[in-house]
Structure 1
Amino acid sequence: MDTNVRTPDPREHVNEEPRNDLGDLVTGFLGMTTFMFVVFFGMVIIKFLMSE
């Protein structure tokens, strides 16, 4: 018995959006590094002001 079942071809990648993975990686890495530098120097300044 034949049934009319239409299965999508998984090679079509219908839901994929074009993305720049390396750009996302670099942006995330630089953003987190910048954030950590700001936190670090903020703590250094706070410690300097508290020690006086």
Structure 2
Amino acid sequence: MTDSKHPELHVYEEQRDDLMDVAMGFGVFFAVLFVIAIVATIITIAMR
């Protein structure tokens, strides 16, 4: 195991919670799309 690319030689420097990372990613993405939809709705209503 002298190969520097061997995965067992690399230990995470910090603990990671993958489920929470994915959940936060989906949540933030949903929030951004929701804000875009609200702005688009306001612009559509204002142009009438």
The answer to whether the superposition gives a TM-score over 0.5 is yes
Cα distance in structure 2, aligned partners of 1:19 and 1:47: 42
Q: Is the aligned partner of 1:7 residue 2:2?
A: yes
Residue equivalent to 1:28: 25
- Greater RCO (CA < 8 Å, at least 6 residues apart): 2
Q: Which residue number in structure 1 is paired with residue 39 of structure 2? A: 42
Higher fraction of helix: 2
Q: Which runs of 4+ in 1 moved over 2 A?
A: 8-14
Across the aligned residues of Structure 1 and Structure 2, the Cα RMSD in angstroms comes to 2.2
**Number of equivalent positions:** 45
Output the TM-score relative to the length of structure 1.
0.69
The unaligned stretches of length 5 or more in structure 1 are 1-5
Query: How does the TM-score come out when normalised to structure 2?
Result: 0.74
